[in-house]
Amino acid sequence: MNRGAIRRRLALGLALLTTSATLTLAVPGNAHAAAPEAVGTACSGRKIKTLPFSTGSVRVYKRGGTFCVITLPKNPGPRQYMMVSVQARGFHPSKDEGMYTRFAGPRGTHAGQRKVRVKGAVGAGSVDTGWVRF
């Protein structure tokens, strides 16, 4: 390999490294840092259901046989307990819980034609659909 080829490969490698570092710094590392308006775009598919409860709501999205859920508080801002869970019948639940300021999730599962169970909570309020077919 001649010197020109080595220089071109080094220049290409440096360009890729610089681009990668720039994108890493530009994209937030924590999904919970997203703006409230951007929460709806965290799940692909179309919104098929909003499950309201006393302290918040759970949004359910579906694309093909895949479900995605997000829990949103009525009063975002203060750090508070939030939980979201989605489970296809016969499988373990996909769950996110903790102390968050904007939302819990997104969490998803492929259910196919199975019934699903969706749960969500913010503080003391919660919702549980039981086994349903959306």
Structure token digits, residue 8 = 């071109």
Domain boundaries, the chain: 1-33, 34-128
Q: Average pLDDT of each block of 10 consecutive residues along the chain (134 residues)?
A: 72 60 46 46 90 97 96 95 97 97 96 96 97 93
For residue 60, which of 43, 78, 79, 36 has the smallest C-alpha distance? 43
pLDDT value at position 12? 62
Structure token digits, residue 9 = 């490969």
pTM for this prediction: 0.70
Question: Which fold does the domain 34-128 belong to in CATH?
Answer: Immunoglobulin-like (2.60.40)
pLDDT value at position 35? 43
